[in-house]
């Protein structure tokens, strides 16, 4: 498969990059590669604990990007071959590109402080299932 623009990462930066590129260059083929079909809006994560009814209510939709003609692949990139301008997906497929954007975001870390491994101490990762488990623990916590 060959695409004009390959974007690795489907969070806010990846989606905004894809939609901006498509609006600026409507004839270019664009694909976003992301792990999960439906991610969360990172800046909305604090609201899942009190304001939003569920973690699913904080889902980041891709329909608008799809409506613009942006393609999505739900997989992981195992390798980036800059010399041949190709990315290799974990399924074994290669995608050739003209331009590559890496928009993989950030990952939280546990700071090396006393108590960071105690029960009920969490980092806040941008993963729906993980956030559902954190919400369940938070709801059962003593006030």
Structure tokens at 77: 């990139």
Q: How far apart, in whole angstroms, are the C-alpha atoms of residue 97 and residue 66?
A: 19
From residue 142, alpha-carbon distances to 117, 127, 138 in Å are 19, 25, 9
Phi-psi domain of 39 (left: phi exceeds 0; alpha: psi -120 through 50; beta: other): beta
Whether 81 is a known active-site residue: answer no
Pick the catalytic residue from 43, 81, 91, 135.
43
What does the alpha-carbon distance between residue 89 and residue 96 come to, in Å, rounded to a whole number? Answer: 11
Helix H or strand E segment including 20: helix 12-24
Q: Give the catalytic positions in this structure.
A: 43
């Amino acid at each position: 498969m060959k695409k004009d623009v390959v974007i690795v990462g489907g969070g806010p930066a990846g989606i905004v990059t894809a939609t901006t590129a498509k609006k600026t260059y409507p004839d270019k083929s664009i694909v976003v590669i992301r792990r999960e079909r439906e991610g969360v809006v990172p800046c909305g994560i604090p609201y899942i604990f009190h304001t939003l009814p569920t973690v699913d209510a904080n889902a980041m939709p891709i329909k608008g990007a799809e409506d613009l003609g942006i393609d999505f692949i739900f997989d992981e990139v195992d390798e980036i071959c800059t010399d041949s301008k190709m990315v290799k997906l974990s399924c074994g497929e290669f995608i050739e590109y003209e331009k590559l954007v890496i928009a993989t975001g950030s990952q939280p870390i546990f700071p090396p402080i006393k108590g960071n491994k105690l029960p009920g101490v969490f980092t806040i990762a941008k993963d729906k299932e993980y956030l559902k488990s954190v919400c369940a623990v938070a709801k059962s916590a003593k006030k």
